[in-house]
């Protein structure tokens, strides 16, 4: 933490940090790409980064659940991005968008450097909590640095009401278990508490009014 505080102590420019959080299937990546297109249309140079752990839909693209793609850099960490991208090219970048941000342990330090020192607009999208409703990665650590924070919701796949949590449908206790609708489902508070993991699939299949997930 002392290192992080030192990194943020030299404010030399007017960067920005915008955080997008929520459960799975809430449309975080869609919101991120919407911001990317907005910034691109303003003539700003945008670079998109995602965690290399996320290979669900594509290796070198950010992909929404409905199939929308955008090319990106897939990295195991953020600390070496500037060198990998090239110092000269990095200086030309105006906006850095980070998807699946919960997987980056060095997210806080990177955002400090990029926004406070390098003057970049940083857009961060990621899960705020894991399937146990605990802090996931460093996403929430960035909230005190942020200009804006947007909390998105999905639709509960059991009752169709507003979903704020992610329920894991299989008995696997590892925290970083990357997957999609085959492993996870968005649920409201009531059904997070009342629907046991082993019967989550059955609950979805027997509901009377199926609801399409909000992408």
| Binding region for substrate | 184
For the annotated binding site, the residues are 184
109 is catalytic: no
Q: How far apart are CA 102 and CA 82, in angstroms?
A: 20
Write down the residue that tokens 């990029």 correspond to.
114
For residue 102, CA distances in Å to 23, 70, 108, 134, 162 come to 12, 19, 11, 12, 22
DSSP secondary structure code for residue 50 in this structure: E
**Strand, coil or helix: what is 63?**
strand
Length of the chain: 215
Find the catalytic residue in 2, 89, 100, 157.
100
Q: b/e string for 131-163 if b means 16 or more Cβ within 10 A?
A: beeeebbbbbebeebbeebeebbbbbbbbeeeb
Closest among 148, 93, 115 to 12, alpha carbons compared: 115
Say if residues 14 and 119 touch (Cβ distance below 8 Å): yes
Say if residues 174 and 201 touch (Cβ distance below 8 Å): no
Write down the residue that tokens 């940083």 correspond to.
122
Say if residues 176 and 130 touch (Cβ distance below 8 Å): no
Just list the catalytic residues: 100
């Amino acid at each position: 933490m002392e290192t992080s505080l030192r990194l943020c102590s030299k404010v030399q420019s007017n960067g920005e940090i915008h955080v997008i959080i929520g459960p799975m299937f809430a449309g975080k990546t869609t919101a991120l790409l919407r911001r990317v297109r907005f910034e691109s249309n303003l003539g700003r140079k945008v670079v998109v980064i995602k965690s290399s752990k996320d290979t669900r839909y594509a290796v070198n693209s950010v992909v929404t659940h409905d199939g929308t793609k955008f090319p990106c850099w897939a990295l195991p960490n953020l600390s070496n991005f500037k060198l990998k991208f090239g110092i000269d090219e990095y200086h030309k970048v105006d906006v850095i968008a980070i998807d699946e941000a919960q997987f980056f342990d060095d997210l806080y330090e990177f955002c400090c450097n990029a926004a406070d020192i390098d003057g970049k607009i940083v857009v961060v999208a990621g899960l705020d909590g894991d399937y146990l409703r605990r802090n996931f990665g460093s996403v929430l650590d960035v909230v005190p640095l942020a200009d804006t924070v947007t909390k998105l919701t999905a639709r509960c796949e059991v009752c169709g009401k507003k979903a704020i949590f992610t329920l894991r449908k299989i008995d696997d206790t590892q925290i970083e278990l990357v997957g999609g609708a085959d492993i996870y489902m968005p649920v409201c508070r009531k059904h997070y508490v009342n629907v046991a993991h082993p019967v989550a699939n059955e609950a979805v299949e027997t509901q009377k009014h199926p609801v399409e997930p909000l992408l």
